[in-house]
Chains A and B, each alone.
Chain A
Amino acid sequence: MSTKSAGQAVKAGYKNIRVMLAGEPAWVKAGYPTYANYGWVCRGNIVLIDLRSAEKDAAARIPRSVSMPFADFADNYDEIPIKAPVVLYSDKDEETTAAMKILHDNGYKKVSLVEGNFLGWKRVGGSLEKGPVVTDVRWKRILAEGEVSVAEFERALADPKVATILDVRTKAEVASGKFPSSQHIPLDELCKDMDQFVCKIRDLQKDEKIYIHCTTGARAEMAYKELKKRDFNAFYLVAEVDCKGNDCSIEE
């Protein structure tokens, strides 16, 4: 994207153009901060962390903040789901920088800061709320296009009329167990014999729903994309699936 934009700028006659090819991830990896814009702080599906004291948080905070004072942050940060986008703020820059480093060092990939920190938020007239501190992190991942929720997947397990469950794991994996009601076609066979697919899935109608699973969601997503291109009504499950015999656990 950056090279394309640079190309457009070249055509428009700009003479002094450089591209940071390594991109935003390399910037983050170098330990430098990134910032969330105010709209994202207000409305994004984020975990917003107030690093100031609980007293300051109760008196005035950015709406939706979870109070996690910096003094105890190293003990409490693991309450934040590792996949969640996290936005940090404080009234001390060194606290936000240090908390950001703790998160980066512990595998959090989506950490950003409030531009100008808490004072910057106030300066631009960002809204504030007060009241008893909130310490519970209540974050839920929003499903991507084509994903099926665990609840909906379980509904299909209980009632075969909801959807056909398609298991795309390898034969070896299935040998140690599978969902009793699922159909099994390993991912590599699914794509090799796509024309035979309908024959393999018993009684499948083109508009019938197919919920695809593997052990994490990676293969299920690949299978989803293949089926979708052929106009199947497919969805995929992103969750840890582990089967022993007919007994399978699903963990988000």
Chain B
Amino acid sequence: MKKTMTRFIPFFIMASFLVTGCNQNIKSTTTAAKPSVSTEAKKDQGPVYKGKVVGKSNKAKQISIEVGKDKDAKTVMVSFDDKTKGLEYAAAGEGAIIAYEMRDGVPFATVIKPKLATLPPGVTVITPTEVKTLIDSNKDFLLVDSRPGNRYSASHLPGAVSIPVCEMQELLQNLPKEKDKLLIFYCGGPT
């Protein structure tokens, strides 16, 4: 297990740059199995906006980001300039953490970092190449596409089944009876 984790850490760091489009509101109840890359956010000074990037305009130098949950959800506009770090992570649909300071009463982005997914305890990351190898070698596993059904219809991995994340009842009905069977989940990424 330890060896496997070590092998995945470089990928996880890489994946953290790619990851988005996935709801990342699952919080692990244990930190034991979790790679420690997410701690870098704690080193940040000052206030941050954390949420999904709605859009970015390079001409107006503005990022809009949706922060807060459910009833408290709101979109805020943050300015940026050429000195803002990590602008590549402020792409529409991606989860981002924007550190900002107030300038003339307007929030101004200083550093932007990708918002990392937190995996549930015991769940490990798998790369596309590894999934491809499993498919090509006819290994017995269930590949689940967690995106909305229309996204699945348009383009899905070979052999994947569509179980959108909100259909929990359906998910449980469609999962195999054997609890030790390999399940692989995937969803959208950067658009």
* Chain A residues in the interface with B (C-beta under 8 A): 1-10, 12-30, 32-37, 39-40, 44, 46, 85, 110-112, 115, 168-170, 173, 186-188, 191-192, 214-215, 218-219, 221-222, 225-226, 229
Residues from chain B with Cβ under 8 Å of A169 in the complex: 59-60
Residues from chain A with Cβ under 8 Å of B106 in the complex: 188, 192
**Can you pick out 29 interface pairs between chain A and chain B where the beta carbons lie within 8 Å of each other?**
A3-B23, A6-B119, A14-B180, A15-B122, A16-B182, A17-B123, A18-B124, A19-B119, A20-B126, A20-B131, A20-B186, A21-B119, A23-B22, A24-B147, A24-B157, A26-B128, A32-B132, A34-B157, A35-B155, A35-B157, A36-B155, A85-B154, A110-B154, A170-B59, A188-B106, A218-B56, A222-B62, A229-B74, A229-B75
A112 to B165, CA, bound (A): 22
List the count of A-B residue pairs having beta carbons below 8 Å apart.
244
Interchain CB contact under 8 A, B119 and A22: no
A8 to B20, CA, bound (A): 19
A118 to B163, CA, bound (A): 26
Given the interface pairs A23-B18, A24-B189, A26-B18, the reply to whether A16 lies near B183 with Cβ below 8 Å is: yes
* Chain B residues in the interface with A (C-beta under 8 A): 12, 14-15, 18-26, 54-57, 59-62, 64, 74-75, 77, 79, 105-106, 117-129, 131-132, 144-147, 151-158, 163-165, 168, 171-172, 175, 179-191
| Candidates B75, B155, B165, B184; contact of A19 at CB < 8 Å | B184
